[in-house]
A and B are shown apart, each in its own frame.
Chain A
Amino acid sequence: MAAQNDPQAPALRRGDSAVMPVLLILGLGVTVAIILAVYGRVHEPTGFALNVAGFSGPQAVKAWLATGAFVLALVQLLSGLAIVGRLGGMVAPPWVSPLHRWSGRLAVLLTVPVVVHCLYALGFQTDTPRVLIHSFLGCFFYGAFTAKMLLLTRRGLPGWAIPLIGGLVFIALFGLWLSSSVWFFVLRGITF
């Protein structure tokens, strides 16, 4: 019983009823990614969408929102490492879990206006390696995020499962940030 409820149980046991739901969850994540990609490809890009006041243009808004999300993702990385006890062997203080949860929620919420603009106004583009990689990672990110949220509801996962999927979400966001915000700031300078 204890092992059943411990999210760091050593491994999925053979015949464990948890295997099928986990595969189902991963399949759902893949489906989310594919739906986003297909929408981005089939939907005729409108060219523009709502903007946020106070910025020079949609690109600047998106670059800063994504930067905010990435900073929070760094908080995610550190708090996540602390939760699984990989942050210099220190014991995670009790506020780390809420910090992880809320910084994650905020990070993903910051990305939502960005992805809506990306998919609605621009679509899934393949013109250059940068936009191809960015389009792919964008779809992958939301697929992986969906899978991670659903996996969190499962008990009896091997200890590496959540850190692995969390790491994938982080890497995807890092790649998205590099291929958009960093690219934009290098090209235009740090502009608002």
Chain B
Amino acid sequence: MSKRGPIVTLVLVAVVAAVLLVVNMTVRTQSAGREGAAPPSGTAVAPAPPPAVTSPAVAPETVTYAGRTSGNEATIAIAVRAGRAAAYVCDGRSVEAWLQGTITDGRLSVQGARGASATGTLAGDAMFGTVSMNGQQWPYSARRAAPPAGLYQGRGTVSGVPARLGWIVLPDQSQVGIGNFGGRRSPAPALRLPVLSPVTVDGTRIEPQQVFGDTQVVGVPGGPPS
């Protein structure tokens, strides 16, 4: 048997893979709009997604604040636990941002992809602050929200693309949510509460879970780059 045959095969496979990858990256770069701004390299991904939170038992220091920006541009939910904070800003149609950070001495500081951030100050049962995203700044106010009001997320793969869904449930039980399917955003399907049950998107079941302050929300597969 020729000694070269298998090497030729290996090289051929590597070359075809490299060509496909380069073509993919080229097409991606050319068609990249705002959504495609993330370069496909060197971006750290969280080591592992957090385990699904199914227990209804909530630790005492676990609080979620939910509210709106002052001009009603978007809703915001901020989950706080043990000094860590996870927040989600969402208009229910196409604008959303996942933010992660800390809360120290009642001062909130959370950041997300593409320069999105929020600050806030705790005042009793309410949080007041400012959201910065897409080059805009929105003042917001949020109130302590009792379950089932709160912040929820779901992840999966829908039609071959990573899907990331987020829902804010306001104290009046109204919901605002967005599904991000490989960078394309659309309103999320309704979340069934108070018992969390799977939602179906395009034939794929996705298990929503409640987001707490220490839940990893930025830099997860299917989510925004950290």
Where the two chains meet, the residues of A that have a C-beta atom closer than 8 Å to any C-beta of B are 7, 41-50, 57-59, 62, 97, 101, 104-105, 108-109, 112-113, 115-117, 120-123, 125-127, 131, 145-146, 148-150, 152-153, 187-188
SS class of chain B's interface: helix, strand, loop or mixed? mixed
A150 surroundings in chain B (CB, below 8 A):
6-7, 10
Assuming the A-B contacts A47-B162, A97-B1, A127-B49, are A153 and B221 also in contact, with contact meaning beta carbons closer than 8 angstroms in the complex? no
B12 x A109 contact (CB < 8 A): yes
A187 x B203 contact (CB < 8 A): yes
Q: List 7 A-B contacts (CB under 8 A).
A: A44-B225, A108-B9, A109-B16, A113-B20, A120-B40, A121-B160, A152-B3
Report the bound CA distance from A20 to B97 in whole Å.
Answer: 53
A116 x B21 contact (CB < 8 A): yes
B160 x A112 contact (CB < 8 A): no
B182 x A42 contact (CB < 8 A): no
Shortest beta-carbon distance from A82 to chain B in Å: 15
Shortest beta-carbon distance from B158 to chain A in Å: 9
Shortest beta-carbon distance from B35 to chain A in Å: 9
SS class of chain A's interface: helix, strand, loop or mixed? helix
A45 x B9 contact (CB < 8 A): no
Where the two chains meet, the residues of B that have a C-beta atom closer than 8 Å to any C-beta of A are 1, 3-7, 9-10, 12-13, 16-17, 20-21, 23-25, 27-28, 36, 38, 40-45, 48-49, 155-157, 159-162, 181-183, 203, 221-222, 225
- Which one of A48, A116, A148 contacts B161 once the chains associate, using CB atoms below 8 Å? A48
Shortest beta-carbon distance from A39 to chain B in Å: 10
20 other contacts beyond A58-B160, A109-B12, A153-B4, with CB at 8 A cut-off? Answer: A42-B45, A43-B40, A43-B43, A46-B36, A47-B162, A49-B24, A50-B20, A50-B23, A58-B159, A97-B1, A101-B5, A105-B9, A105-B12, A115-B17, A120-B25, A121-B182, A126-B49, A152-B3, A152-B5, A187-B203
Assuming the A-B contacts A42-B45, A105-B12, A153-B3, are A122 and B20 also in contact, with contact meaning beta carbons closer than 8 angstroms in the complex? no
* Chain B residue, CB-CB nearest to A155: B3
B21 x A44 contact (CB < 8 A): no
